[in-house]
Amino acid sequence: MYQETIELLIDGEWTRGSDGSTLPLINPATEEEIGSVPCAARQDLDRALDASRLAFLSWKKTTAAFRWEILSRAADLIEARKAQIARTLTMENGKALAEAEGELQFCADATRWYAEEGKRAYGRLIPARSPDIRQIALKEPVGPALGFAAWNFPAGNVTLKIAAALAAGCAIIVKPSDETPGTAVAIGRCFQDAGLPAGALNIVFGPPAPISEHLIASRIPKKVSLTGSTPVGKLLQRLASETLKRCTMELGGHAPVVVFDDADLDHTLAVLTAAKYRNAGQVCTSPTRFYIHEGVYEAFIAGFVERSKKVVVGNGLDAGVQMGPLITAKRLDIMDGFVQDAVAKGASIALGGERLNKTGYFYAPTVLRDVDDTARVMNEEPFGPLSQITPFRSMEEVIERANSLPFGLASYVFTSNGSTAAVMSDALETGVVGINHTSVHEPETPFGGINESGYGAESGVEGLEAYLRTKMVSDRRI
Ligand code: NAD
């Protein structure tokens, strides 16, 4: 049973919104309608803007120690409610329950990390050119912020924005995805129940275009943070330019994986199959373009297919399930289109290549071999359980091919040669690089893309810095 009551959070009140309009909430594993999502009307958005303006004036004056107390309590509540929120998350997003629980643990850890790091928003004292002057660079919260978050990490994407903004002393209005609202609400309740003052956090749902246009046009927010696709990133950046709001853009990726012939093949296969089918491939850092050295090409494909066949696909709530459905029915057609196009351009299907014949938006784990670089799926973010495998001969060649797209989020290298690892990590044009593994995002490490995968970072000191601005005070003794 789906248990979350989906409401907007405006000025500390949970509400169904002022005009009664709703969107249906669908469980992608069963195709059943499990709830209704209240949409924020214009007056609800204006109330949220005003509430965030007022809350910011007092929240920014609280001490970092006070904010630490509230954020720590929120982290404890996320951890205590982990099992219950994970069920909501799985029913909305489809990912396996264990994955959902892992995501919530990440949220608790990240909230604690930001709570601590908020105490270290140091400025600096700059030696002056005159002995009676003290020059101080102060760190201040940037102002009320706006956060737009994708559905693929319904808890993580939302929590990273809330925790960083609040730790820095900012108020925030969050617009989570309408596909995964209950998870965001459950996270919001943890912060409210931890004693957060009214208006410091507001949560709104509804059709994204008019909501983002209205919120971003306002002069109240001073910052926009988006986790979403590259086209939406470009759109929101254009909107933000009208009022010169600062942006953090966590956008799409198309991660190259380079496997050299000296890699430990068993380890490589185990790591890559686990990473590939996580959240059914709907991960911005999912390995997507597999460049395999010709010396291990056939062995890699055989091993990858064998392991992919064993992936248990089903409703994420069921015991033993490793991979759930895609988020919407539309995504199934997109996967089919990618496969047909790749085959027309010379690829062969080594596994899968079709939707599963059962209720729910399930697509088979799919392995495509000999995929041409011009295939659409090698150029557009697949965001599904598709692996495109192609051989390479030399390091120079593979660097050029790996760097050939406008995206630059994650890349991976598998090799037992330290020098190869060093050359590759220097050469790959991505914001994060994994050598011999794919775990590239922890609460304390900066995570973000370059080029058309966006800019700025979440997590790490950079994640807090994103919500701070610098003021220089020159103080002359008289
Ligand atoms: P999306 O860009 O369609 O939506 C993301 C957010 O933007 C949602 O909150 C949505 O409501 C809002 N939005 C959508 N259309 C909008 C519009 N016209 N105007 C204003 N706001 C709008 O992305 P998605 O399909 O929900 O998520 C998948 C994308 O997110 C993928 O490209 C993935 O790579 C990316 N992503 C990136 C990261 C990262 O950290 N770089 C993490 C997760 C997901």
User: For residue 194, what is the domain's CATH number?
Assistant: 3.40.605.10
- Kindly state the tokens that stand for 123: 């400025």
Q: Are residues 302 and 408 in the same domain?
A: yes
Q: Is residue 3 part of a domain?
A: no
Q: Please identify which residue in the block is written with the tokens 């759930």.
A: 324
Q: Are residues 172 and 263 in the same domain?
A: no
Best mutation site among 232, 379, 445 for ligand 1 pocket (most ligand atoms within 8 Å of CB): 232
Domain count within the chain = 2
C-beta of residue 333 within 8 angstroms of C-beta of residue 362: no
Residue 176 CA to ligand 1 center (angstroms) comes to 9
C-beta of residue 415 within 8 angstroms of C-beta of residue 260: yes
Rounded-to-10 torsion of CA 435, 438, 442, 447:
80
Q: Is residue 114 part of a domain?
A: yes
Sequence-distant (6+) residues with CB within 8 A of 313 are 321, 322, 323, 324, 356, 362, 364, 365
Residue 122 CA to ligand 1 center (angstroms) comes to 32
Q: Are residues 468 and 356 in the same domain?
A: no
Model confidence pLDDT, tens digit, residues 41-75: 999 999 999 999 999 999 999 999 999 999 999 99
Cβ–Cβ contacts within 10 Å for residue 357, how many?
Answer: 7
Give residue 92's pLDDT band: very low, low, confident or very high (50, 70, 90): very high
Model confidence pLDDT, tens digit, residues 134-183: 999 999 999 999 999 999 999 999 999 999 999 999 999 999 999 999 99
Q: Residue 76 is part of which domain span?
A: 8-251+453-476
C-beta of residue 149 within 8 angstroms of C-beta of residue 212: no
Q: Are residues 206 and 315 in the same domain?
A: no
Sequence-distant (6+) residues with CB within 8 A of 175 are 146, 147, 148, 149, 203, 204, 205, 208, 211, 212, 215
Atom 37 of ligand 1: nearest residue by CA position = 251
Q: Answer yes or no: is the C-beta of 148 below 6 A from any ligand 1 atom.
A: yes
Q: Are residues 57 and 116 in the same domain?
A: yes
Model confidence pLDDT, tens digit, residues 426-438: 999 999 999 999 9
Q: Is residue 1 part of a domain?
A: no
Model confidence pLDDT, tens digit, residues 346-402: 999 999 999 999 999 999 999 999 999 999 999 999 999 999 999 999 999 999 999
For residue 232, which amino acid is it? V
Q: Are residues 223 and 270 in the same domain?
A: no
CA distances from 151 to 90, 156, 157, 327, 448 (A): 11, 10, 8, 8, 17
Average pLDDT, integer, range 261-288? 98
Closest residue by Cα to residue 22 from 1, 10, 8, 4: 8
Atom 17 of ligand 1: nearest residue by CA position = 209
Q: Are residues 243 and 321 in the same domain?
A: no
| CA gap 185, 281 in Å, rounded | 25
Q: Are residues 373 and 398 in the same domain?
A: yes
pLDDT at 263: 98
Q: Is residue 208 part of a domain?
A: yes
Residue 150 CA to ligand 1 center (angstroms) comes to 4
Q: CATH code at 438?
A: 3.40.309.10
Q: Are residues 231 and 273 in the same domain?
A: no
Burial of 46 (0-12, 13-18, 19+ CB in 10 A): middle
| CA gap 214, 358 in Å, rounded | 41
Q: Is residue 203 part of a domain?
A: yes
Q: Are residues 355 and 469 in the same domain?
A: no
Q: Is residue 448 part of a domain?
A: no
Q: Answer yes or no: is the C-beta of 88 below 6 A from any ligand 1 atom.
A: no
Average pLDDT, integer, range 291-314? 98
Q: Answer yes or no: is the C-beta of 409 below 6 A from any ligand 1 atom.
A: yes
Q: Answer yes or no: is the C-beta of 12 below 6 A from any ligand 1 atom.
A: no
- Ligand 1 atom at minimal distance to the Cα of residue 231: 2
Q: Which positions are catalytic?
A: 250, 284
- Ligand 1 atom at minimal distance to the Cα of residue 284: 34
Residue 99 CA to ligand 1 center (angstroms) comes to 20
Q: Are residues 149 and 168 in the same domain?
A: yes
| CA gap 287, 102 in Å, rounded | 20
Q: Are residues 157 and 277 in the same domain?
A: no
Atom 21 of ligand 1: nearest residue by CA position = 208
Residue 393 CA to ligand 1 center (angstroms) comes to 36
Q: Answer yes or no: is the C-beta of 284 below 6 A from any ligand 1 atom.
A: yes
Strands 366-369 and 348-351: antiparallel
